[in-house]
């Protein structure tokens, strides 16, 4: 707990490593302390509080105008530090895609012009920061309905297929180096899958999430049994990649097809639409395609074409993409 001096020091050290200045670190620590004081008043603690308690607290912050990005991120980082995994995963779901729709509007203006952007994003207002993911599907549906009506399919696809999560190219530096030294694409992909399995096993043993995923022995075996998951398998001139389910533990346990698709979907802008049967164009999942292809854009030194093959939004049990290998990079 943050009242424990050792954990406060660990949190401060974590923030220092992120190159935050002293004032911002003090504010982050204060945000977590305020949260823990709230938990004490509710006769609970960070160790034992359930997810409903967190949602209620965030609603209170919104009502009081204290739902700043810095405050929410500070609490999220601390929850990750102390392995409060359900809280950390929830924070990623309400913060991770916050700027995707506004950024999509900016890209639309560049590609199709300001007039079209105004038409597509007419009546667009983001929910308050910290709002639950259920606040987004109707907005996403409205934007997608207006976009697909205003633009040809290929233009929609061009707008959507982009690095909206702003993953830095430098994140793939080591992958690119390994690809350069690999004897073949197949050799490279096999090696990446082996490294992935080691990462997942380490996360499982440490009791930490791997990104937003809880890794259990069953999840590890699931990924081990299919190299397409997160890594990819080459067939001809294409690399086929299947996304790991957003909640792989619940996905593997679930029997109901609708809920299985819900646990497969990564996108907080549309995920709850699956459960609530809100029909959103699966074209939107090319946004995920933009994320999936980025790795290959970098290692091949040129943009690759990505094709959406299956997605939970379209009734499939997983999300799957095909990335076309540039002719000059075949080996």
Residue 4 has pLDDT above 60, yes or no: no
Q: Which of 110, 47, 55 is nearest to 79 (CA)?
A: 47
Write the CA distances from 202 to 36, 210, 212, 242, integer angstroms: 29, 9, 15, 22
- Do 113 and 13 fall into the same domain? no
User: Looking at residues 5-17, what average pLDDT do you find?
Assistant: 88
- Do 81 and 103 fall into the same domain? no
User: Looking at residues 111-126, what average pLDDT do you find?
Assistant: 95
- Do 164 and 72 fall into the same domain? no
Contact 192, 230 (CB under 8 A): no
Q: How many CA atoms lie within 13 A of 129 on its CB side?
A: 15
The per-residue pLDDT for 1 is: 41
The per-residue pLDDT for 123 is: 87
User: Looking at residues 251-274, what average pLDDT do you find?
Assistant: 97
Q: Which of 26, 85, 25, 28 is nearest to 54 (CA)?
A: 85
Q: Which of 269, 275, 218, 270 is nearest to 248 (CA)?
A: 218
CA distance 322 to 233: 10
CA distance 4 to 51: 22
Domain total in the chain: 2
Burial of 146 (0-12, 13-18, 19+ CB in 10 A): middle
- Do 53 and 170 fall into the same domain? no
The per-residue pLDDT for 6 is: 52
- Strand, helix or coil for residue 101: helix
CA distance 158 to 91: 29
The per-residue pLDDT for 271 is: 96
Q: Among 41, 69, 95, which residue terminates a domain?
A: 95
* Non-local CB neighbours of 77 within 8 Å, separated by 6+ positions: 11, 14, 15, 28
Structure tokens, 293: 């292809």
Element (H, E) at 286: helix 286-300
Contact 244, 230 (CB under 8 A): yes
Residue 277 has pLDDT above 90, yes or no: no
Q: Among 77, 95, 113, which residue terminates a domain?
A: 95
Taking only the tens place, the pLDDT of each residue in 37-47 is: 999 999 999 99
Q: Which of 141, 3, 180, 175 is nearest to 82 (CA)?
A: 3
- Do 133 and 77 fall into the same domain? no
Helices (H), 161-278: 173-181, 185-206, 217-224, 248-253, 257-264, 271-276
The per-residue pLDDT for 190 is: 98
Q: pTM for the full model?
A: 0.92
Provide the β-strand partners of residue 284.
none
Range of the domain at 26: 5-95
- Do 64 and 197 fall into the same domain? no
Q: Among 54, 70, 95, which residue terminates a domain?
A: 95
- Do 76 and 222 fall into the same domain? no
């Amino acid at each position: 707990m943050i009242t424990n001096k050792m954990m406060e020091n660990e949190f401060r050290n974590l923030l220092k490593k992120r190159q935050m200045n002293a004032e911002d670190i003090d504010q982050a620590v204060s945000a977590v302390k305020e949260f823990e004081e709230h938990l004490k008043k509710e006769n609970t603690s960070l160790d034992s509080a359930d997810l409903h308690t967190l949602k209620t607290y965030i609603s209170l912050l919104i009502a009081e105008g204290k739902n700043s990005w810095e405050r929410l991120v500070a609490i999220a980082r601390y929850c990750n530090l102390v392995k409060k995994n359900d809280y950390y995963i929830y924070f990623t779901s309400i913060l991770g895609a916050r700027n995707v729709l506004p950024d999509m509007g900016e890209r639309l203006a560049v590609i199709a012009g300001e007039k079209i952007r105004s038409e597509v994003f007419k009546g667009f207002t983001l929910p308050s920061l910290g709002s639950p993911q259920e606040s987004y599907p109707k907005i996403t549906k409205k934007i997608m309905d207006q976009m697909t009506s205003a633009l040809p399919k290929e233009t929609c696809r061009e707008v959507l297929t982009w690095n909206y999560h702003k993953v830095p190219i430098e994140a793939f530096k080591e992958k690119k180096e390994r690809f350069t030294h690999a004897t073949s694409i197949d050799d490279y992909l096999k090696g990446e899958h082996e490294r992935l399995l080691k990462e997942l096993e380490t996360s499982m043993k440490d009791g930490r999430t791997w990104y937003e995923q809880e890794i259990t022995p069953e999840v590890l075996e699931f990924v081990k049994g299919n190299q397409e998951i997160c890594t990819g398998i080459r067939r001809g001139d294409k690399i086929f990649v299947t996304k790991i389910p957003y909640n792989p533990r619940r996905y593997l346990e679930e029997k109901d097809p609708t809920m299985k698709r819900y646990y497969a979907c990564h996108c907080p802008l549309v995920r709850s639409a699956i459960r609530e049967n809100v029909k959103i164009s699966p074209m939107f999942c090319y946004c995920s395609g933009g994320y999936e292809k980025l790795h290959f854009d970098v290692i091949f030194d040129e943009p690759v074409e990505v094709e959406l093959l299956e997605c939970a939004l379209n009734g499939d049990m997983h999300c799957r993409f095909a990335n076309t290998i540039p002719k000059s990079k075949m080996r």
